[in-house]
Amino acid sequence: MQLVLEKRAERSNTIALVSPLIAIGLTIVTMTILFAILGKNPLLALQAYFIAPLTDSYSLQEIAVKATPLVMIAIGLSLCYLANVWNIGAEGQFLIGAVAGSWIAVKTQGTDAGAWVLPAMFVLAAAAGALYALIPAICKVKFGASEILTSLMLVYVADLFLDYLVRGPWRDPQGFNFPTTAEFDPVATVPLLIEGGRLHLGSIIALLVVAAAAILLGRTIKGFEIRVVGAAPRAARFGGFNSNQLILLTFAISGALAGLAGIIEVAGPVGHLQPGISPGYGFTAIIVAFLGRLNPIGILIAGLFLALTFIGGEQAQIAMKIPLDVTKVFQGILLFYVLACDSLILYRFKLVFPNRQVARGTG
Amino acid sequence: MELVEAIILSVLAASTPLLIAATGELVTERSGVLNLGVEGMMIVGAACGFGGAWLTGSIFIGALFGIVAGTLMSLVFALMALGLAVNQVATGLALTILGVGLSGLIGARFVGERITPAAHLHIPGLTDIPLIGRILFGEDAFVYFSLALIIGVWWFLYRTRAGLILRACGDNHVSAHALGYPVLKIRMLAVMFGGACAGLAGAYLPLAYTPFFIPGMTAGRGWIALALVVFASWRPGRLVIGAYLFGAVTILQLHAQGWGVGIPSQFMSALPYLATVIVLVLLSRARTGGSTAPAALGTVFVPDR
């Protein structure tokens, strides 16, 4: 008996729609087994993961806060992936954006700088993220170096650079030697949407990014070019599209969004620059992009769902002592199932019983 | 002179995991499969390898645990990328994300534990020769094994019929299939070999390099191993040179930090990663006359029936 793939005559739209749901269902089944292996009550654990965070206002706001960077980064990544180039260094672009924006916050600290500070931080962070993403893009376009490896290597470099800054020149003199900058001034902080709550302006920006991406991809020539270059490179060449230029463009946009997400995280929920500002947003966003089927609205929903797993993971750790790494395992398994189910869009799975009389070739 | 000897010894130790992991990936890629999950397979190999050695007290069993863990991880990849024809880049990334989580889960109970690291060879007389004695006759078993492995892989790829068939699958899977070779089966075996090597390379870290396990201890070595395969133009001989060069960069930056060179330690730590980027750019640029990569690398193959 053998599993064989049979190409469908055309892609199945029904399966394209339900495949993320099948994937989530399969992941939850797998997690149930994993919880049982860990000796935890699976039902209670699932409840802590997926239901409990939805039951109080604080957690709901926290989900939106966590979804903000995930959605912003994933939107950028989806443009790259649609164009069939692989930016996997969003984590580094996120950190460099956070560093660049923080520079203004640190330099204006304690001065009477006005309301221009926060917008300036945003602009600088987006520019820095875009430039940092352009390094692998230029290496690819000019020299043909694999963007996968170069963009990933730059994550480690960005991480070390941030570490140097907060342990060296930018360390808070009153910080008891902790590796962190001083708390940002109010003018350098992302305003809250609800007084005393968690929800901040960044979530609105993320929604605007989703809308902009939907328009770019659905209503503009550039968006069409990005999709054609990725799906049919030969057709794109005949159409006269400049694929190198599109590679640079998609990397720059995705770097800018990751950088912006970085400064929003630092000037928002965190409030100062320190190592470990990201629990791997740049990598989780890859899952968000795929789970959302590289579609802006899909990414918004997927971002909220993965944010739920972050919050649920924290709550399950507090309530049931389930290790935080379970969240990462969950995310990894989810991505596997998403990819496997996506295969169903193009192929039909068939079990066949090979006929023994058929010659197996020359061997 | 003592210092030179110490540096060479530590370069060999730092290079060995890179060499083992890259050797496995070289075979995988030569069969036409790009498995980006090396980092994930390595880190699970590290956690399982340490666990095996800690539970049994045997480095050898620890190494076996690492190999089995890496192979199992690679089977997940094979099922997805070969069985279900899923995009290899995305599957490799998923494998790394899963591996990081799994290793944290498996390794959590071993954090803070210590084991006796792998013993070094000692041949009375030979090992005591000044300068070269310890370098040639005083390494741990992994170092010798890694060199035997790469020689074996060279011999297999270029001197056996099976190696020729494997390379044929990597260069043109349609022709290989038409000739009657089971492309997917060959690729699966190549992927499993890559997984076994990555698992062993990961296990080397807590079994011989440092005698304890810390989460995330592979620190990007799996990715550097991937870059090494590109650096080596998919050829075993150049892989050895590349692995030792990268080991040297890692060790030199550590020593430079110790000598108190006036450069912040973080900048020195970034060197191996920056070196990878620079090497990739220089090499890709030198190869304007056409790529040396296996022609079918990373492409999906679904046999028509």
Q: State how far Cα B141 lies from the chain centre.
A: 16
The string of DSSP letters for B167-199 reads: HHHHH-HHHHHHTT--HHHHHHHHHHHHHHHHH
Closest residue on chain A to B302 (Cα): A5
| Complete DSSP assignment for A324-343 | THHHHHHHHHHHHHHHHHHH
Q: Name chain B contacts of A145, Cβ cutoff 8 Å.
A: 277, 280-281, 283-285
B48-76 burial: b if 16+ Cβ within 10 Å, else e = bbbbbbbeeeebeebbbbbbbbbbbbbeb
Give the model's pLDDT for residue A361.
43
Q: What is the mean pLDDT of residues B106-127?
A: 82
Beta partners for residue B117, in sequence order: none
Give the list of residues 6+ apart from residue B144 with CB closer than 8 angstroms, or none: B121
Structure ipTM? 0.87
- CB nearest A332 (choices: B87, B98, B277): B98
Say if residues A174 and A270 touch (Cβ distance below 8 Å). Answer: no
Cβ of A143 within 8 Å of Cβ of B284? The answer is yes
Residue A139 one-letter amino acid: C
Outline where chain A has alpha helix (H).
Answer: 13-37, 42-46, 57-82, 90-107, 117-143, 147-167, 201-219, 221-231, 233-238, 243-265, 281-291, 296-320, 325-346
CB A190 within 8 A of CB A202: yes
Give me the residue spans of the domains in chain A: 66-305
**Which tens digit of pLDDT belongs to each residue from B156-177?**
999 999 999 999 999 999 999 9
CA pair distance B58, B141, nearest whole angstrom: 13
Q: Do A145 and B101 touch (CB under 8 A)?
A: no
Confidence at residue B291, expressed as pLDDT on a 0 to 100 scale? 63
Residue in B36, B104, B269 closest to A148 by CB: B36
Q: Is A357 on the interface with B (CB under 8 A)?
A: no
- DSSP letter string over B30-72? HTT---TTHHHHHHHHHHHHHHHHHHHS-HHHHHHHHHHHHHH
Rg of chain A on CA atoms, in Å: 22
Given A156, A157, A362, which is nearest B179 (Cβ)? A362
Q: Which of A65, A282, A94, A102 is nearest to A180 (CA)?
A: A102
Q: Indicate the residue of A339, A347, A363 with minimum beta-carbon distance to B180.
A: A363
pLDDT tens readout for residues B197-220: 999 999 999 999 888 898 888 888
3-state secondary structure of B120: strand
* pLDDT band for position B286 (cuts 50, 70, 90): low
Task: Give the closest of B105, B220, B270 to A323, CB-based.
Answer: B105
Which residues on chain A are in Cβ contact (under 8 Å) with B266?
A: 160-161, 163-164, 167
Chains A and B: how many Cβ contacts under 8 Å? 152
CA distance A281 to A317: 19
Dihedral Cα A263, A269, A270, A273, nearest 10 deg: 10
Q: Is the pLDDT of residue B261 over 70?
A: no
With an 8 Å Cβ cutoff, are B277 and A340 in contact?
A: no
**Do the beta carbons of residue B36 and residue B92 sit within 8 Å?**
yes
Distance separating alpha carbons of residues B232 and A247, to the nearest angstrom: 26
Q: Which of A332, A279, A245, A266 is nearest to A121 (CA)?
A: A266
Chain A residues lying within 8 Å of B267, measured CB to CB: 160, 164
Residue pair B84/A340 in contact by the 8 Å Cβ criterion: yes
**CB contact (8 A) between residue B90 and residue A335:** yes
A123's CB contacts (< 8 A; 6+ apart) are: none
Q: Which chain A residue shows the shortest CA-CA distance from B92?
A: A336
Q: What is the pLDDT of residues B20-34, one digit of tens each?
A: 999 999 999 999 999
Q: Which of B266, B279, B285 to mutate to test the interface with A (most CBs of A within 10 A)?
A: B266
- Specify the pLDDT at position A1: 63
* Count of CB atoms situated within 10 Å of the CB of A282: 28
Nearest-Cα residue of chain B relative to residue A2 = B83
Determine the pLDDT at residue B290. Answer: 54
Q: What is the DSSP letter of A5?
A: E
- Sequence-ordered list of residues with C-beta below 8 angstroms from that of A363, at least 6 positions apart, any chain: B180, B181
Which pLDDT band, with edges at 50, 70 and 90, does B260 fall under? low
Using only C-alpha atoms, chain B has a radius of gyration, in whole angstroms, of 19
CB A231 within 8 A of CB A121: no
Neighbours of A15 (CB within 10 A): 17
Name residues whose C-beta falls within 8 Å of residue B241's C-beta, 6 or more positions apart in sequence: B232
What angle do the packed helices B2-30 and B236-258 form, to 10 degrees?
140
Element (H, E) at A292: none
Query: What are residue A2's DSSP bridge partners?
Result: A352
- Which residue is closest to B34 within chain A, CA to CA? A148
Using CB atoms, pick whichever of B94, B220, B223 lies closest to residue A335: B94
pLDDT band at B149 (very low <50, low <70, confident <90, very high): very high
For the whole model, what pTM was predicted? 0.90
Q: Which residues, including other chains, have CB under 8 Å from residue A158's CB and lie 6 or more apart? A: A91, A92, A93, A95, A96, A99, A132
Burial A221-248 (b: 16+ CB within 10 A, else e): eebebbbbbbeeeeebeeeebebeebbb
B interface test, pick of A151, A153, A355 with most B CB neighbours within 10 Å: A153
Q: pLDDT grade, residue B287 (50/70/90)?
A: low
**Residues of chain A where predicted confidence (pLDDT) is lower than 50:** 357-363
Q: Reduce the DSSP state of residue A241 to 3 states and report it.
A: coil
- Give B85's DSSP letter: -
pLDDT at B135 over 80: no
What crossing angle do the helices spanning A281-291 and A243-265 adopt, rounded to 10°? 120
Are the Cβ atoms of B97 and A152 closer than 8 angstroms? Answer: no
Q: How far is A72 from chain B (nearest CA, A)?
A: 20
Q: What's the rounded Cα separation, in Å, for the pair A68 and A303?
A: 8
CB interface of A with B, residues 248-287, below 8 Å: 283, 286-287
Q: Which of residues 22-61 of A touch B (CB under 8 A)?
A: none
